[in-house]
Structure 1
Amino acid sequence: MPERLPGYRPPARWLHWIVAAAVLLMIPAGLTMTQEGLSRPVQDTLFLFHKNLGTVLIPVILMRVIYRLTHRPPPLPKTIPAWQRTAAAVSHGLLYALLIVMPLSGFVRVRAGGYPIELLDRLGFGPWIAKSESLADAASALHATAAFVLIAILAVHVGAALQHALIRRDGVWSRMWPGG
């Protein structure tokens, strides 16, 4: 039986799983929508979904970052080696940074490219950024590179979570699971 560890508070858990679900939807949409040979209606639908969900995610991610900065996470069990503690801290820091970079670079890419963000346009928000192909290209390159880094770090994060849940069974997984 694993040691009973203090878990994350409910707001941290809910913000984690809302962002996780959204990101896990955004990744395949983002990878698929840019493929050659995709039918125009499917591509348009994926672009609409991806950029508007990304826009909605910005305030949710900001809430998550603010919550994390103002609420210390529960400590890891003493049985976790120092190198794994360091790896966890580094990967979490990178995840948070990428969760900020991804929607902001996507927003800049779309707006600097002169494209609409339908949700913001309907709410009466202006473009905020002047059209600039060079800025759009730079934001696009950053967005694409950060996407692959995010996918790699998420794979490590999910792998570590599954290792704690299924192999070690040390209680680390249940700290973040909504039912904890």
Structure 2
Amino acid sequence: MSTQARFPAASRLLHWLMAPMIVAMFFIGVGMAATLSPRYELLVAIHRPLGIAIFVLCVIRLVNRFINPPPALPDTIPSLQQFAAKASYILLYALMFIMPLVGWGMLSAARYPIVLYGPLQLPPILPHDLTLYAWLRELHTYLAYLFFATFLVHFGAALFHGLIRRDGVLESMASWR
């Protein structure tokens, strides 16, 4: 194993705080999409504020990334893989940022309240338009599939670096050492 530099503590904390939130959203989304789910209302009540929490943490994470840049990848990683890693990070950040906004816009276009907790609600960000709602709902679904696929690639790459290559890339984000 190489002596790969570690991500700053704030970056690791945000990563490991958001990871289970995002995984939970995948399961909640599948549960919401299931026809006739008896827990639909409960899942929606969790999905909306959790999506906004992910959005807020993503903004914090982006600011943190500019203040605390990530360590460079090892020179032993081929340039095409380094490009793929950087592209996948950009896609993950874009999806963490865009997915909640599309969901918020979708609900706004349908005039559904975006309840965070009790009486606390978000204001609508788009005008009432059922055609726009339908389009954003479909977009939200396709983005969710893309997000899940990108997450699987990210998770697989982390395991590949940690278990096969043993080059320190996984350990650079791991809280343990």
For normalisation by structure 1, the TM-score amounts to: 0.92
Give yes or no for contact 1:101–1:143 (8 Å, CA) kept in 2.
Answer: no
CA–CA distance in structure 1, aligned partners of residues 44 and 74 of structure 2: 43
Do residues 100 (structure 1) and 101 (structure 2) align?
A: no
Query: Of 129, 135, 141, which residue of structure 1 is paired with 2:126?
Result: 129
Secondary structure of residue in 1 paired with 2:160:
helix
Give yes or no for contact 2:48–2:116 (8 Å, CA) kept in 1.
Answer: no
Give the deviation of 1:120 after TM superposition: 6.5
Q: Which moved more, 1:136-145 or 1:159-168?
A: 136-145
Secondary structure of residue in 2 paired with 1:118:
strand
List, as ranges, runs of 4+ consecutive aligned residues in structure 1 with deviation greater than 6 Å. Answer: none
Secondary structure of residue in 1 paired with 2:167:
coil
* Aligned residue identity for 1:97: A
Secondary structure of residue in 2 paired with 1:93:
helix
For normalisation by structure 2, the TM-score amounts to: 0.93
Aligned residue pairs total: 177
Give the deviation of 1:125 after TM superposition: 4.3
Change (3 A) 1:62 1:120: farther
Q: C-alpha deviations, 1:14-72, integer Å up to 9, x for none? A: 11111111100000101111211322xx0110111111111122211111112113322
Give yes or no for contact 2:2–2:166 (8 Å, CA) kept in 1.
Answer: no
CA–CA distance in structure 1, aligned partners of residues 41 and 9 of structure 2: 36
Secondary structure of residue in 1 paired with 2:116:
helix
Secondary structure of residue in 2 paired with 1:119:
strand
Give the deviation of 1:127 after TM superposition: 2.8
Give yes or no for contact 2:105–2:136 (8 Å, CA) kept in 1.
Answer: yes
Do residues 64 (structure 1) and 61 (structure 2) align?
A: yes
Give yes or no for contact 2:104–2:125 (8 Å, CA) kept in 1.
Answer: no
Do residues 90 (structure 1) and 83 (structure 2) align?
A: no
Query: Of 126, 139, 147, which residue of structure 1 is paired with 2:136?
Result: 139
CA RMSD in angstroms comes to 1.5
Change (3 A) 1:125 1:108: closer
CA–CA distance in structure 1, aligned partners of residues 144 and 75 of structure 2: 33
Residue 112 of structure 1 corresponds to: 109
Do residues 15 (structure 1) and 14 (structure 2) align?
A: yes
Query: Of 146, 158, 171, which residue of structure 2 is paired with 1:174?
Result: 171
Do residues 160 (structure 1) and 157 (structure 2) align?
A: yes
Consecutive unaligned residues of structure 1, counting only runs of 5 or more, are: none
CA–CA distance in structure 1, aligned partners of residues 121 and 26 of structure 2: 28
Consecutive unaligned residues of structure 2, counting only runs of 5 or more, are: none
* Aligned residue identity for 1:115: Y
Residue 5 of structure 2 corresponds to: 6
Residue 75 of structure 1 corresponds to: 72
